[in-house]
Amino acid sequence: MKKQLFILLCLGFFIMTTQAQVQTLKGTITEYGEGGSMSPVSGASVQWLGTNIGAFSDAEGHFEITRVSSFNRLIVRYLTYENDTIEVPQDQETLNVILSAANSLQGVEISAREGSYISIKPILTQITTGEGLRRAACCNLAESFEGSLSVDVEYADAVSGAQQIAMLGLSGIYTQILLENVPYIRLLGNQFGLGFVPGSWMDAISVSKGTSSVSNGFEGITGQINLDYKKPETNKEKLFLNLYGNTMGSADVNLNTRFPMSKTKPVYGLLLLHANSQMVRLDNNNDGFMDLPLTKQLNSMFRIDYRYKEVMEGRTMIGYLIEDRVGGQMKYDPKQELNMFNPYGLHIKTNKMDLITKNGFMFKDHHHRSIGTILSFNFQDNQSIFGMRLYNAEQVSGYANILYSDRFGAKENHRVGMGLSMQVDYLREILKTLQVSTSHYFQNKKEIVPGFYAEYAYSIAEKFIVMPGFRVDYHAYYNQMLYTPRLHTKWQISEHNAVRASAGKAYRVSNVIAENLSLLVSNREFIFVEDLKPEEAYNVGASYVRTFKMKGGQSTFTVDYHYTHFVNQTIVDMDRDAHNIYVYNLNGGVNGILNQSYSHAFQAELIMLPIDRFEITLAYRFNDVQMTTAGQLQQKALMSPHKALLNLNYATRYNKWKFNTTLQYNSKMRLPKLDPALVQPEQELPQYRLDAQSPDYFILNAQITRKHKQWEFYIGAENMLNYKQEMPILGYDNPFGPQFDASMVYAPITGIMGYVGMRLTLRNH
Amino acid sequence: MKKLFILVVLAAFGLSTALYAQSSKKQTVTIKTNACSSKSDEIFKEIIPFLKGVSSYEFCEHSGNLTVTYNPKKTDEATIRKAIAKLGFDADDVKGDPVARKKLPQECLTPVKKGSCKHSCGEH
């Protein structure tokens, strides 16, 4: 393809007037911005080929260029896009150009669909936009993955209400979660962090499997999830209000407001507010425990976007969250004295503060050259009670990253990016058990990790992109150098067929208690068998994407496979016996050597648009996750190897009515085994018994949305087939006894749930 | 019990659709506006089809013409023109609201200079 730039001509509006002579050509230049919205491009240049006559587009993307007779070819140039020439007939007066990033490395290609699409990046990335997010009344990040199989949402335990994710069959701690490319949900955030990201704050979610770009750190063994919040610069909602209530006695309120902060300068502010509360104690399964914890959450963020000429632009956000969570037995009162004669309870108080500032500097004469800086500061504090256990933790983190990127070469087909990063974490944890003769756990950890990285991308004739990257970090806590090589390639076989492959290494440092708070909702004891080493893994993957035209729009078929191989993993072993949790290195002194931990993950997904505004998603995924626990290589517990999904979305014209429904199948899962020697006579009772496998089950969700000019009303139901795990809490009748364990959750605890809600949007045009 | 409920809902839905179909003898009107470019259509898309009695519309960005299909029992041409004017656009002889007009993006309105937006839909 000779075209250097993939420009969709908006049909150019051929003017067929009788006027023979036209003096000027006017038009606009737009591009698909982040989140899929169209935004004007300022500073793009247009020039008649073979002449010196040219013009630039203004802030609104407008340009006006004098016509020269017999010169009909217009060159369009802009930053990350490569140049192209457009034929403009002499009698044409207007020209609208949409820049599409088909050949851009960083860019994103968007299809006509609004729900979710696959970006053109060399790393397979699936992006769900705001429209896709509204298909479920997703109150938070965890719930927004229900229309996809790439990310599993797991129930962490039956008491705390925490939701966690898994990718490639491996726990969510192995997935790096970023907010606009800044590491976001980490350390203490792992347990409840997904619940701290309100659904209506998000503009887009990008999910990529396998190792990602080295620029974001050495983490991300299984993949990366990058969140985009609504941005002051591009958001059109002067005011957005969302009210939600469900039949379980939970309510959500969201309020966003966006406003210009300066009359003359491009400075915009956006205030995001969220409150949710579970107000009712519910016990539908009559085990004496609340099915859902009582929660009160207040979450806020204020962010500004600013820009100084064509030289500097930045985004700064500050967020604060406070949450109070009370679970356990129905009669539990958080004010009660801590002893075994009072009801069992869970009480978690969280405070969280984030400050992130990202600033970019451009160079006037070098459109591709830029320096980007990221500074982030995070504070989090947890004070928790789990029955007779007290857990208090405090985290202070700082992160800095400075990235230089440029392009060179005659066709500008070489891109380099390099930078320096620094991550500092201070984590203080105390775990006390108010019981006889049990150990206390105390950790006071300072981690300082400076790093350097470089990435290079080379595109050959628009068909083939190869992107090697490398980073070196020094982990002061372990006094160890971490070397992270990664490679991504993409081969665009033809317009509709693309193959990608990736291989790379990733590391992670575990903080076992903070990442496994759900295991505290049991009377199992943590036993740290040895000092833990950093987790280390290789990941290789490949994918094939085929797009095809259907009546309703571009449809996609994707197949991908990823293999993850752990060199070292922190094993949290629940299989050894029913009363303890053993924590050790995969190939440590205790477990012996030659142990294995790996995951094979395969997924196929077909998204079809057979008619206008009707979208069908069919997906299937298979995970084979094997890990040596209790001295035996076996399938990872509480992970369903087979999952299938059917998702139907239909909207009437102008989106006046929207119908969304999702059916998901979860296959049988292995449940942690109890050591037969430890089975005592009373464990034969049904409330102490655990089968070897969980049953398989279906989940059905549906939603209807009615849109008016400013109001939108939605009604829906989740888990419509009313599937519930019969007995989510083992030993519920004696919560202080040795058999009590609420961490064996494989299915929903609550049954069918209905909800209603409304949204009010006042737009700034 | 559940089945009965579903039946009732379906029946109500069917009935309302039938009633709706019966009462809607639709009319169309073409209104000349000074809107220009797809940016204006982005605004119309969120407002015009949600006006009371309006079922659909077409916008021609070259002529600025809005062709609106509506139910004459529920609304009339004057009301539709007023609604357009409220957004800041001129609608036939109804002048656009000056406050709203100021807030419109520049490209939403016909450039004053001669040139674009003068030929009618369907010709291109």
Does a structural domain hold residue A157?
A: no
What is the rounded distance in angstroms from the CA atom of residue A660 to the CA atom of residue B95? 41
Q: What is the ipTM of this complex?
A: 0.70
Domain parsing of chain B, residue ranges = 25-124
Q: What CATH code is carried by the domain that includes residue A53? A: 2.60.40.4130
Q: Which residues of B touch A (CB under 8 A)?
A: 37-38, 42-43, 45-47, 49-51, 56, 61-62, 103-108, 111, 115-116, 118-119, 123-124
Whether A135 is in a domain gets the answer no
The rounded mean pLDDT for chain A is: 85
- Which range among A93-107, A574-588, B49-63, B102-116 shows the weakest confidence by mean pLDDT? A93-107
pTM above 0.90, yes or no: no
- Looking at A69, A103, A137, which one is the last position of a domain? A103
Question: Considering CB atoms only, which of B47, B116, B124 is closest to A26?
Answer: B116
Q: Which of A15, A26, A765 sits opposite B103 (nearest CB)?
A: A765
3-state secondary structure of A141: coil
Do A375 and A521 fall into the same domain?
A: yes
What percent of chain A lies above the pLDDT cut of 90? Answer: 56
Cβ distance B103 to A709 less than 8 Å, yes or no, reads no
Residue A590 lies in a domain: yes
Among A156-160, A208-212, A509-513, B12-16, where is mean pLDDT lowest? B12-16
Domain closes at, from A74, A103, A132: A103
Q: How far is B50 from chain A (nearest CA, A)?
A: 5
Final residue of a structural domain among A40, A73, A103: A103
A11 touches B at CB < 8 Å: yes
**Total domains present in chain A:** 2
Q: Does residue A183 lie in a domain region?
A: no
Instruction: Provide the CATH number for the domain formed by B25-124 in this structure.
Output: 3.30.70.100
Name residues whose C-beta falls within 8 Å of residue B7's C-beta, 6 or more positions apart in sequence: none
Query: What is residue A688's predicted lDDT score, i.e. its pLDDT?
Result: 59
- A698 at B interface, C-beta within 8 A: no
Helix (H) / strand (E) containing B16:
helix B2-23
pLDDT at A105 over 60: no
- pLDDT, tens digit, for every residue of B4-42? 566 555 555 555 554 554 455 788 999 988 887 777 888
Residue A126: inside a domain:
no
The answer to whether residue A284 is domain-embedded is yes
Residue B6 CB neighbour total at 10 angstroms = 10
Residue A294, in any domain of the structure: yes
Give the pLDDT confidence score for residue A477 in this predicted structure: 93
Span A193-245, pLDDT tens digits: 999 999 999 988 999 999 999 999 999 999 999 999 999 988 888 999 999 99
A295 falls within a domain:
yes
Please state, in angstroms and as integers, the Cα–Cα distance from residue A723 to each residue in A146, A344, A392, A578, following that order.
16, 26, 35, 27
Subunit contact B43:A26, Cβ cutoff 8 A = no
Contact B105 A653 (CB under 8 A): no
Closest Cα of chain A to B3: distance in Å? 14
Chain B closest-CA separation from residue A79 CA (Å): 23
Question: Which residues are registered as beta bridge partners of A396?
Answer: A379, A426
- Contact between residue A316 and residue A307 where contact means Cβ atoms under 8 Å apart: no
Instruction: Count CB-CB contacts under 10 A for residue A663.
Output: 16
- Give the separation between CA A167 and CA A539, rounded to whole angstroms: 12
Report CA dihedral (A224, A230, A236, A242) to the nearest 10 degrees: 110
| DSSP one-letter string for A538-576 | EEEEEEEEEEEEETTEEEEEEEEEEEEEEEE-EEEE-SS
Which domain range does residue A74 map to?
A: 6-103
- A94 and chain B in contact, CB less than 8 A: yes
CA–CA min distance A651, chain B (Å):
14
